[in-house]
């Protein structure tokens, strides 16, 4: 709705529209952040949000604390107030093995006067390693949020929790269930492993102190005096229980979790209703074996008696309830000693110090190396060769040093100095911010990593060219720069161990396919311009439209693009100034590389312009990533889920549930041949 139309609304009409918009936005937040199943595009969401902002600006008397617009923007606070919990938030007793879980089961039966062979129903769920928090809703509206604190009194973090997108500002309406007069929702504030890694990388790049683990990052982010800083960190909230509830009642803990999900929360998953302690132990072992596959750090499982009427009979000790226990996993952090430091060279020449450790087992894996990020981080941590350190491992992330045990220093420890020459090729090293880089574009270490990146799915998408093959190609002298990949012959590949006639031909076919009609943004991402990721590459392609124009762009022209700052602009200019880089790019074109550079007027005329496209099933002519890049290049948007907002579904071999849903909704569908014809009509050679 335009501002002109808004002005024509009566005061009552404006109030009604504001309420409609809030309900719509809360619903779409739930679909996007909780279910991960958006029904509208980002642009459509932004349009709704913008309309609400403008209406609230015109009618400030209708602004309420639970409005989606109030998630951010609160002024910094001088200190946190105190909040007394209606019901204490007690800690849980720990069980560290199967026997201790069985002891817990036996204690419950003794207190309840049941025989030892009786079966008690439990709910088992993951124990997320975050910061416990309580959120109060009055008449369905977000009212107050506090940390666990000492279990009796917590800190008031209401403005900060408001910024978390998975915390509803209003409870969703549930059919046949009244809105509770008051409900105290308890759960865990978390940061995903992926977002934790990004945050630490950014802090390390700026030379600031990093967080030891995702839990510390979540706690540090939530307890910011300025909620705007909290809003910049990607936090999540997963509900695991309730405190005081007025207006509705529950008989079982499993009902609590199901209802919280209906109200719009993420609740602890995967969870299992267990008939007895044996099923609990089975779940305990399964979750521990799968812990690395979770987006969030887990440190165990939580086991609760499902029948809440038994909770009062079982009661609590001063510290913990008798009806629940935490089954803890093996610790991830251990202490060890730094024996030496080696230097790794990345694809952009960045030299990373890596600590060689006295081998130690961390959560079932022998760790002998840990990253030190960069030399500013080394200085900040004051870490030295010979130090005793705390090391941790999280999932597939390279183990890292969390802290130095300085009390164990003997005086024989040696400072870690940055290298003056590249440890691989001996070329000069330059300092750029917190990093040291090798300046030699043909450095073998850079080349292997650059080749792996160049061939990756989201770059040039060369099927069959993985890490081992890249290493062999460089070691055997078959690839001395990135362009050499396009000059390889089948007989060259057959010389490599592990390749037979068919696999060699498949790789050559993959290389030849990768040369044709490469979207400009994928090429820019593939060639490894320092500081240019996928998003920035797309910005550049959209702005300049051709490689030639981008190569001539000045520093000032680049700075005018929203999203590109001085460091990125400098990297781009310096990359295209380097004569050797231009020679390699020209060598690619001589080998038959063809870029698909699309002008804005061509995008507007394409069959995908402004359309939301979903793929289902396997494509035989290209990978899903390449197909997606063509659609995006031609002005379309690719979604992972089918909704009423979907314009087109491309159906490949063995389509899944998306095909059935598209059929039900009557959405237009095309097969692979029809999709290829649409690409050809837009000028793409496939």
Question: What is residue 15's predicted lDDT score, i.e. its pLDDT?
Answer: 86
**Percent of the chain scoring above 70 in pLDDT:** 92
**Residue whose C-alpha is closest to residue 191's, from 267, 145, 271, 129:** 129
Specify the pLDDT at position 252: 96
Q: How many domains does the chain have?
A: 6
* CATH number of the domain encompassing residue 13: 1.10.287.610
Is 456 found in the same domain as 366?
no
Instruction: Inform me whether the pLDDT recorded for 394 exceeds 70.
Output: no
Average pLDDT over every residue of 205-232: 80
One domain for residues 227 and 299? yes
Least confident of 125-129, 168-172, 345-349, 606-610: 345-349
The answer to whether residue 78 sits within a structural domain is no
Question: What is the pLDDT averaged over residues 565-574?
Answer: 85
**DSSP letter at 34?**
I
- Which of the two residues, 226 and 140, has the higher pLDDT score? 140
pLDDT in tens, 96-107: 889 999 999 999
Domain limit, last residue, from 415, 435, 456: 415
- Would 117 be classed as within a structural domain? yes
The candidate with the shortest Cα–Cα distance to 235, out of 162, 154, 317, is 162
Query: Rg for the chain (alpha carbons), in Å?
Result: 29
By residue count, the chain amounts to 686
Is 434 within a domain? Answer: no
- H or E segment and range at residue 596: strand 595-596
Is 552 one of the annotated active-site residues of the chain?
no
Same domain, 532 and 488: no
Query: Both 145 and 283 in a single domain?
Result: yes
d(CA 291, CA 127): 10
Query: Nearest to residue 595, comparing CAs of 551, 556, 560, 554?
Result: 551
Closest Cα partner for 197 from 178, 211, 208? Answer: 211
**pTM for the whole structure:** 0.48
- What's the confidence (pLDDT) of residue 577? 87
Domain check: are 585 and 607 in the same one? Answer: no
Q: Is the Cβ–Cβ distance between 472 and 448 less than 8 Å? A: no
Distance of CA 292 to the CA centre of its chain: 14
How confident is residue 396, by pLDDT bands cut at 50, 70 and 90?
A: very low
Name the 3-class secondary structure at 549: helix
Whether residue 366 is predicted with pLDDT greater than 50 in this model: the reply is: yes
Summarize the confidence of residues 116-134 as an average pLDDT.
Answer: 93
Residue 79 lies in a domain: no
Whether residue 141 is found in the same domain as residue 128: yes
**Which one of the listed residues 127, 304, 596, 628 is annotated catalytic?**
127
Residue 235 DSSP code: -
pLDDT for 593 equals 93
Q: Lowest-confidence range among 64-78, 469-483, 653-667?
A: 64-78
For residues 535 and 588, state if they share a domain.
yes
Q: What is the CATH number of the domain that holds 489?
A: 1.10.150.20
State the pLDDT at residue 473: 93
Q: What domain range is 539 assigned to?
A: 518-596
Q: Of 535, 568, 596, which closes a domain?
A: 596
Of 523-537, 555-569, 593-607, the least confident? 593-607
pLDDT tens per residue, range 492-541: 999 999 899 999 999 999 999 899 889 898 899 999 888 888 878 888 98
Same domain, 244 and 222: yes
Burial of 194 (0-12, 13-18, 19+ CB in 10 A): middle
Q: Is 399 in the same domain as 450?
A: no
Instruction: Band the pLDDT of 398: cuts 50, 70, 90.
Output: low
- With beta carbons less than 8 A apart as the criterion, state whether 646 and 614 touch: yes
- Domain end position, chosen among 328, 361, 392: 328
CATH number at residue 676: 3.40.50.10190
Q: Is the pLDDT of residue 73 over 50?
A: no
Which pLDDT belongs to residue 127? 94
Residues 298, 169 share a domain: yes
Domain of residue 203, CATH code: 3.30.470.30
Percent of the chain with pLDDT over 90: 40
527 and 588 in a single domain? The answer is yes
DSSP 75: P
Cα 446–chain centre separation: 27
Mean of pLDDT over the chain: 86
What's the pLDDT at 76? Answer: 44
Task: Give me the pLDDT at residue 657, please.
Answer: 82
616 and 571 in a common domain = no
């Amino acid at each position: 709705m335009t501002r002109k139309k808004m002005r024509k609304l009566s005061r009552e009409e404006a109030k009604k529209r504001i309420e409609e918009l809030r309900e719509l936005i809360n619903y779409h937040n739930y679909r996007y952040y909780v279910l991960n199943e958006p029904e509208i595009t980002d642009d459509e969401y932004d349009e709704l949000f913008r309309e609400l902002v403008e209406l609230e600006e015109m009618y400030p008397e209708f602004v309420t604390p639970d409005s989606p617009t109030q998630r951010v923007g609160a002024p910094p606070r001088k200190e946190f107030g105190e909040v007394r919990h209606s019901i204490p938030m007690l800690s849980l007793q720990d069980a560290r093995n199967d026997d201790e879980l069985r002891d817990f089961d036996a204690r419950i039966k003794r207190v309840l006067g049941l025989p030892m062979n009786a079966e008690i129903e439990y709910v088992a769920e993951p124990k997320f390693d975050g910061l416990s928090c309580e959120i109060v809703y009055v008449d369905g509206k977000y009212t107050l949020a506090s940390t666990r604190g000492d279990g009796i009194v917590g800190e008031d973090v209401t403005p900060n929790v408001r910024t978390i997108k998975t915390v509803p500002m209003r409870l969703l309406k549930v059919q046949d269930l009244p809105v509770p007069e008051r409900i105290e929702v308890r759960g865990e504030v978390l940061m995903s492993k992926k977002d934790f890694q990004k945050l630490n990388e950014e802090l390390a790049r700026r030379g600031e102190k990093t967080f030891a683990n995702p839990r510390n990052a979540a706690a540090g982010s939530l307890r910011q005096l300025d909620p705007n800083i909290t809003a910049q960190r990607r936090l999540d909230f997963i509900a695991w229980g309730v405190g005081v509830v007025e207006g509705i009642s529950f008989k079982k803990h499993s009902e609590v979790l199901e209802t919280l999900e209906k109200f719009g929360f993420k609740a602890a998953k995967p969870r299992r209703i267990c008939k007895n302690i044996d099923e609990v132990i089975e779940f305990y072992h399964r979750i521990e074996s799968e812990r690395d596959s979770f987006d969030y750090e887990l440190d165990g499982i939580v086991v609760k008696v499902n029948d809440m009427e038994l909770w009062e009979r079982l009661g609590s000790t001063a510290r913990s309830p008798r009806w629940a226990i935490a089954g803890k996993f093996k610790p991830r952090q251990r202490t060890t000693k730094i024996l030496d430091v080696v230097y790794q060279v990345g694809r952009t020449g960045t030299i990373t110090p890596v600590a060689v450790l006295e081998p130690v087992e961390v959560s079932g894996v022998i760790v002998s190396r840990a990253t030190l990020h960069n030399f500013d981080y080394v200085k900040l941590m004051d870490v030295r060769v010979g130090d005793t350190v705390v090391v941790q491992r999280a999932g597939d992330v390279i183990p890292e040093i969390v802290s130095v045990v300085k009390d164990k220093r003997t005086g024989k420890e040696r400072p870690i100095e940055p290298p003056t020459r590249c440890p691989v090729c001996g070329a000069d090293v330059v300092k750029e911010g917190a990093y040291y880089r090798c300046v030699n574009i043909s450095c073998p270490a850079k080349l292997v990593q650059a080749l792996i990146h160049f061939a990756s799915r989201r770059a040039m998408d060369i099927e069959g060219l993985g890490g081992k093959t890249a290493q062999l190609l460089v070691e055997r002298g078959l690839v001395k720069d990135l362009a050499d990949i396009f000059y390889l012959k089948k007989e060259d590949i057959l010389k490599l161990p592990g390749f037979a006639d068919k696999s060699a031909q498949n790789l050559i076919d993959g290389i030849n396919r990768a040369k044709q009609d490469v979207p400009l943004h994928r090429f820019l991402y593939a060639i490894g311009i320092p500081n240019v990721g996928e998003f920035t590459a797309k910005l550049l392609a959209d702005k300049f439209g051709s490689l030639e124009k981008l190569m001539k762009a000045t520093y000032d022209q680049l700075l005018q693009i929203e999203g590109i700052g001085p460091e990125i602009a400098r990297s781009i200019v310096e990359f295209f100034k380097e004569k050797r880089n231009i020679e390699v790019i020209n060598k690619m074109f001589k080998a038959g590389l063809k870029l698909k550079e699309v002008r804005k007027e061509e995008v507007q005329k394409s069959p995908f312009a402004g359309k939301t496209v979903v793929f289902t099933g396997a494509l035989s002519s290209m990978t899903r990533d390449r197909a997606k890049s063509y659609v995006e290049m031609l002005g379309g948007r690719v979604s992972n889920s089918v909704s009423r907002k979907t314009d087109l579904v491309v159906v490949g071999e063995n389509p899944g549930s998306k095909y059935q849903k598209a059929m039900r909704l009557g959405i237009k569908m095309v097969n692979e041949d029809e999709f290829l014809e649409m690409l050809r009509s837009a000028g793409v050679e496939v």
